[in-house]
Amino acid sequence: MATALTNLYFLFKMWTLHRHTVQLATSNHTLPSYPTISIIVPIHNEEKHLEQAMTSLCQSAYPHFEIIAVNDRSTDNSALILARLQRRFKCLRVLTITQLPAHWLGKTHALQKGLEHAIGDFIIFTDADVIFAPQLLQQAIAYMLEHQLEHLTLPPYLLLQHFFMRWYMPFQLFVMLLAMRPWRVGNENTPHALGIGAFNCVTKRALTEIGFMQHLALNPVDDMGLARLL
């Protein structure tokens, strides 16, 4: 009986969360000005999806943005793909890491190096296999400015081709959400925070205050770690 009541409680919370989820595509995203955005993409052997993902980013319908692709010791064709894309798109900058220093994980170190070169007022962290819709940057920044946010995270729409993954991934995500309890995010009386690696947008000011990624150097869950620091 207790288990059934617990399950009903969590289902109700998930339904409540869904009802209050903001759809950026339907929100007002008019901007009086366009702050500069730096998009940091850590890359390690991502040749399968890299060109499609980076092309979608480079074709974003936003006037002031840069993309910093951090090629972290890739041994596949990622470097060749990035070089080809860099010739097509002026917004793309490529940093190359050949060695990993002590006391750092590869991804957090790549994010740190990207931050050291970023010029944007807003920083977006994303993965090298994420496809961006053309209007996403404008919609996200407009929402953050309207609500005076320092941090915005967005879940990706998952394209699952295999039958097993179509069954398994929703179950896995459901379990993860139960553990993270996102409906408590924003409540000052709880320590809950939520960050999603596919899209973490943070103001440069907030990142400077926490010392960039130095406190997350050995954190394997950098997206959630960043959210907790903020």
Q: Which pair of structure tokens corresponds to residue 13?
A: 């919370």
Q: Do residues 121 and 183 both lie within one domain?
A: no
Q: Do residues 48 and 136 both lie within one domain?
A: yes
Tell me what pLDDT residue 155 has.
80
Neighbours of 176 (CB within 10 A): 10
Q: Do residues 79 and 178 both lie within one domain?
A: no
* Count of residues making up the chain: 230
Q: Which residues contact 127 (CB under 8 A, 6 or more apart)?
A: 41, 42, 53, 197, 198
Residue 74 to residues 30, 93, 101, 161, 217, Cα–Cα distance (Å) = 39, 16, 16, 26, 20
Q: Does residue 37 sit within a domain?
A: yes
Specify the number of domains making up the chain: 2
Q: Do residues 216 and 126 both lie within one domain?
A: yes
Q: Does residue 9 sit within a domain?
A: no
d(CA 122, CA 203): 4
Q: Do residues 79 and 168 both lie within one domain?
A: no
Q: Do residues 78 and 186 both lie within one domain?
A: no
**Containing structural domain, residue 118:** 33-156+196-229
Q: Which residues contact 130 (CB under 8 A, 6 or more apart)?
A: 53, 156, 198, 199
d(CA 106, CA 44): 9
What is the pTM (predicted TM-score) of this model?
0.80
Per-residue pLDDT of the chain (230 residues; tens, 9 = 90+): 555 555 554 554 554 544 445 666 655 567 888 999 999 999 999 999 999 999 999 999 999 999 999 999 999 999 999 999 999 999 999 999 999 999 999 999 999 999 999 999 999 999 999 999 999 999 999 999 998 999 999 886 656 566 655 555 565 665 566 555 555 555 565 555 667 878 999 999 999 999 888 889 999 888 777 877 87
- CA-closest candidate to residue 31, choices 134, 135, 142, 133: 142
CATH code of residue 147: 3.90.550.10
Q: Do residues 102 and 215 both lie within one domain?
A: yes
Q: Does residue 7 sit within a domain?
A: no
Q: Do residues 64 and 110 both lie within one domain?
A: yes
Q: Do residues 71 and 102 both lie within one domain?
A: yes
Q: Does residue 18 sit within a domain?
A: no
Q: Does residue 21 sit within a domain?
A: no
- CA-closest candidate to residue 151, choices 123, 174, 118: 123
Tell me what pLDDT residue 188 has.
60
